[in-house]
Structure 1
Amino acid sequence: MSAIPVAADVLSPDLEVLPLPDVAERLGVPVTRVHQMLRDGQLLACRRDGILIVPALFLAGDTVVKGLSGTITVLKDSGYAEDEILTWLFTADDTLPGTPIEALRGDRGREVKRRAQASAF
């Protein structure tokens, strides 16, 4: 089994985050499934105070935000590291408006994915 990828903690300290067991509970899956989702690039995690955490904004109810895993894949394929992807997702963009993660949550995934693809060039 491969190691769980962990990004540097580039998140704002006031951003709501969830430890992996809470993510598993919200998704209704075992924590080992959350580990696999992290290895597969469906989610991103960082370590804060020794605990692996995931931004709460990555979840919408009992599912992962639609379009998040595809956006992560596009950015990884473009050479972004996990911490760079987290930074990109949580950096405000006046033309969206808001952050890419807010746009994904607001059903503007197509525009976010287009911007992710364009950022590779």
Structure 2
Amino acid sequence: MNTAARTHDAPQEPELETLVGEWEFFPDLAEKWDIPVTRVHNMVGEGRLLAAKVGDRQARAVPALFLTEVGPLESLKGTLSVLHDAGFTDEQAIRWLYTEDDTLPGRPVDALREGRKTEIRRRAQALAW
């Protein structure tokens, strides 16, 4: 079987933008949290948030479920650290957090929002093995 046929037969992952669905752009977050937009950039650089380029203009945005009314989801930073230690890129980490897991059940991001960070971090650590 040639490579093209194998690629065609493989199930396609949804686009990251579609998988996440709701995004918040940096300027909107800055306004919402009443902080300079550079602080949002710093939060991404510090590993407190993840961002991806989305939309027609390919502007940087953060998945909405990573956010609260006052700042980043508290349990996110440690979880992102574990995922990065496991070798995940930012896009892979977002995809993992937003992908349904029947054994949870649900998505890891939902479990984080429900306060189940220990379980999610344990699962993320296991990915490194």
* TM-score of the two chains, using structure 1 as the length reference: 0.86
Q: Distance in 2 between matches of 1:95 and 1:118?
A: 14
Q: CA deviation at 1:23?
A: 1.5
Relative CO higher for 1 or 2, CA cutoff 8 Å, sep ≥ 6? 1
Match of 1:100? 108
1:3 corresponds in structure 2 to none
**Cα-Cα RMSD:** 1.5
* Structure 1 position 81 matched with structure 2 position 86: no
Distance 1:92 1:105 in 2: 14
* Kept in 2: contact 1:66–1:105 (CA 8 A): no
2:40 equivalent in structure 1: 34
- List 4+ stretches of structure 1 deviating above 6 A: none
Instruction: Report the equivalent of 2:16.
Output: 10
1:5-39: per-residue Cα shift (whole Å, max 9, x none)?
xxxx6232671111101122233321111101111
Letter of the 2:100 counterpart: A
Task: Compute the displacement of 1:68 (Å).
Answer: 0.6
Q: Which runs of 5 or more structure 1 residues have no equivalent in the other structure?
A: 1-8
Counterpart Cα distance in 1 of 2:21 and 2:29: 15
Match of 2:8 in 1: none
Paired residues of 2:20 and 2:63 also in contact (CA < 8 A): no
Amino acid at match of 2:23: V
Task: Report the identity percentage.
Answer: 45
Query: How many residues of Structure 1 are paired with residues of Structure 2 in the alignment?
Result: 113
Q: From the CA coordinates, give the structure whose radius of gyration is larger.
A: 2
Contact 1:58/1:65, CA 8 A, preserved across alignment: yes
Contact 2:100/2:107, CA 8 A, preserved across alignment: yes
Residue 52 (structure 1) aligned with residue 60 (structure 2) = yes
